[in-house]
A and B are shown apart, each in its own frame.
Chain A
Amino acid sequence: MLNYIWSGLIIVSVVFAALLNNTSELSDALVNSGASSIQLLMTMAGIICLWSGIMKIAEESRLTQVISKAFAPLLKPLFSKLDKNSAAFRCITMNITANLLGLGNAATPFGLKAMSELHKLNNNSNTASNEMVIFVVMNTASLQILPTTIAAFRQSYKSNAPFEIMVPIWISSACALAVALIIACTFCKKQN
């Protein structure tokens, strides 16, 4: 799938650049994109290393187990095939807990760990399992209790009430999550 999306993006870009006479901008982007992606990776590397260090402490002190136990009953129905004491299910609950708290950067290491655990359970096949689909889809719907980043942006542009969009964000992301889960679960059932 990504093979097609990626090559599609490149082909469309080159065709449009030729039609619109934007070839010089395109070659600029060609040169600069490597540098900008390395910059992004360096910023991310710092944050990810810090948080995987902190989260390792949470893991070894068994704090993760305490938190995920609180959320497990809510998530269990979606991942009925996983054992609730398995590493995969623990990472999933921790990832979703961190996302809810708005700790996107803390959530990523758990998400990646969850994927590699699910991969093992799926016999290292190169086709995604139902659990992987549901998990990634839940991640893309971004349910968040306190939208602090958005509020910070609004504040910096002198909004009268930076947090006034909180409830609309809850409703909107809950609807998005519901739609995503309904579609994912229907397809999963159909293909089994």
Chain B
Amino acid sequence: MPCFACIIVIYGLIKKVPVFDTFLKGAKEGIRLIYSIAPTIMGLIFAVDLLRSSGAMNQICTFVEPIAQAMGFPKEIVPMVLLRPISGSGSTALLTSIYQDCGPDSFAGRVASVIAGSSETTFYAIAMYFGSIRVKKIRHTLVAALAADFTAAVMSVITVRMFFGM
């Protein structure tokens, strides 16, 4: 990351751009951006916090667990898979707890790593991008994005088996 920033600044100097003034102009746009997405993010975090604290998330997990095991999913990662599309910091917290319990080089640890690396916080991204322009009818975005998350989860088990023969 710092290299990337440095290259941009040097390139700007070569092209004779007033780099600091330009930086300030951009940073000001950044503030405006945060201002416009803040309500969306607050609203969504609120809903996810409620879901987690009410115990609903745990209930959903126990319900899905048998299905997951039938598909060859390690049961330790079920909560993370379910939380992944909804909350980035929440699923990161679960990822580190899997590392702590099973170790990063265990089957569950590897599968969890691949899932974390190959999927996104879908709901958050959709809410942010469409929320910023106040578009409500998002058509088939959610279906396609959730299909991608599901594929990533299935493929992570397959690839980990393939590469590490576990």
Contacts and interface: CB of A to CB of B under 8 A. Distances in A.
Interface of A: 1-3, 5-6, 9-10, 12-17, 20, 22, 25-26, 28-30, 32-34, 36-38, 40-41, 44-45, 48-63, 101, 103, 106, 108-109, 111-112, 115-116, 118-119, 125-128, 132-133, 135-137, 139-142, 144, 147, 150, 153-154, 157-162, 164-165, 167-169, 171-173, 175-177, 179-181, 183-184, 187-188, 191
Nearest to B126: A136
A136 B129 contact: yes
Interface band, chain B: 35 or more
Contacts of B143: 183, 187
Nearest to B53: A29
A60 to B, nearest CB: 5
Interface string B1-32: 10011001101101101010011111101110
Contact of A171 (B27, B141, B155): B155
A119 B129 contact: no
B136 A1 contact: yes
A26 B139 CA distance: 32
A5 B15 CA distance: 48
Given A150-B113, A157-B103, A180-B144, A103 B135 contact: no
Nearest to A18: B54
Given A52-B33, A56-B26, A103-B1, A183 B117 contact: no
A54 B23 contact: yes
Given A48-B33, A187-B139, A168 B159 contact: yes
A14 B140 CA distance: 28
B45 A141 contact: no
A60 B20 CA distance: 12
Interface string B78-90: 0000000000010
B74 interface: no
